[in-house]
Structure 1
Amino acid sequence: MQTELNKVIAALRDFYAHEGFLFEKDIGERAITHRFAVHLEKQFAGWSVDCNYDRLGERTLHLPHGTIVSTDDHLDKSIYPDVVVHQREIPNNLLSVEIRKASNHTSVTHDQHKLRALTDPHVWFACWIGVLLVLDKHHVTMSEVYVGGLVDEPLSRWFATRLAELGLGASR
């Protein structure tokens, strides 16, 4: 998993090197998410990288009935990650990334619940890894790594430490 997380870090390094304008002009999260996905795509040759992708093969990503996780659509049925690294046709989901601007003052709970659901091994569309990134103008202010439907504390600490070592974040 550290190999995949190092690719996320490399994408963050490129993102911050080239996309400062987005923060200077206070551009919205969707544009930031898209530009991050562009940099992430360079790291994952052979994989598709998509924003707000709500399918797994021919099926729409629906949450299990009775879940506590809120959905992303007005019909309260589907869920989709900000960025997903996957194979569309197989289908196979490797990595899900939720991105927030540090200036977003709404609760981070929705993104955390989404990552728990998107990495839950009991759900048919589970991603192998989930990453929560809270971004400000110069670095990652918060990050969490999800595996098996839960925050993986050791991996989260490792990831935050690597970000801090590279000047991309503060250590946990």
Structure 2
Amino acid sequence: MQTELNKVIAALRDFYAQEAFLFEKDVGERAITHRFAVHLEKQFSGWSVDCNYDRLGERTLHLPHGTIISTDDHLGKSIYPDVAVHQREIPNNLLTVEIRKASNHTPLEHDQHKLRALTDVHVWFPYWIGLLLVLDGHHVTMSEVYVSGLVDEALSRWFATRLQETGLGIRA
């Protein structure tokens, strides 16, 4: 898993080096997510990298309606991942990333619930790794790594340390 997370760090390094404009102009999270996905795609050759992907192989991704996490879009509770690193046809789900701007003051719970659900081994074809990234114009201000439906504390600490070592994380 550290190999994949190091690829995320490389993508973040490129993203911050080339996309400062997005934060200067205070664009929305979807634009930031898309541009991050462009950089992430360069790190994961042989994998598809998609934003808001709503399929599991040939099937549409459906989870219970009316819950905190669902595919009930008109309630604004979509489970679709911000960024998915996967193989579409099989399906083989490697990594899902939820991205938030540091200026977004809504509670983190929705993104955290999504990552727990998307990495839950009881869901068909769960993602192997889930990652929550909170970004400001220069750093990752907060991150969490999810494995098997839970925050993996050891991997989260390792990832935060790697971000700090590369100048992308805020020192605690």
| Range of TM-score over shorter length | over 0.9
Letter in 2 for 1:164: Q
CA contact (8 A) 1:63 1:77 kept: no
State the SS of the aligned residue for 2:142.
Answer: strand
Aligned pair 1:117/2:127, yes or no?
Answer: no
Letter in 1 for 2:99: I
Shift of 1:60: 1.2
CA distances 1:76-111 after superposition (whole Å, capped 9, x unpaired) = 785210000000011110000000000001111100
CA distances 1:130-161 after superposition (whole Å, capped 9, x unpaired) = 00000000000000000000000000000000
Show the counterpart of 2:91: 91
Q: CA distance change for structure 1 residues 92 and 64 in 2, over 3 Å: closer, same or farther?
A: farther
Letter in 1 for 2:119: T
Show the counterpart of 1:59: 59
CA contact (8 A) 2:96 2:130 kept: yes
State the SS of the aligned residue for 1:138.
Answer: coil
Query: TM-score, structure 1 length as denominator?
Result: 0.94
Letter in 2 for 1:154: A
Q: CA distance change for structure 1 residues 53 and 147 in 2, over 3 Å: closer, same or farther?
A: same
CA distance in 1 between partners of 2:160 and 2:115 (Å): 17
CA contact (8 A) 1:63 1:78 kept: no
CA distances 1:23-54 after superposition (whole Å, capped 9, x unpaired) = 00000000000000000000000000000000
Letter in 2 for 1:138: H
Letter in 1 for 2:156: S
What are the equivalent positions in structure 2 for 1:1-172 lying under 5 Å apart? 1-64=1-64, 68-71=68-71, 73-74=73-74, 79-171=79-171
CA distance in 2 between partners of 1:43 and 1:158 (Å): 20
Q: CA distance change for structure 1 residues 11 and 76 in 2, over 3 Å: closer, same or farther?
A: closer
Alignment root-mean-square deviation, CA? 1.8
CA distance in 1 between partners of 2:128 and 2:67 (Å): 20
Letter in 2 for 1:11: A
CA contact (8 A) 2:65 2:71 kept: no
Alignment length (residue pairs): 172
Shift of 1:64: 4.8
Query: TM-score, structure 2 length as denominator?
Result: 0.94
CA distance in 2 between partners of 1:103 and 1:77 (Å): 20
Shift of 1:71: 4.4
Q: CA distance change for structure 1 residues 94 and 23 in 2, over 3 Å: closer, same or farther?
A: same
Could you tell me the percent identity over the aligned residues?
87
Gaps of 5+ in 1: none
Shift of 1:125: 3.0
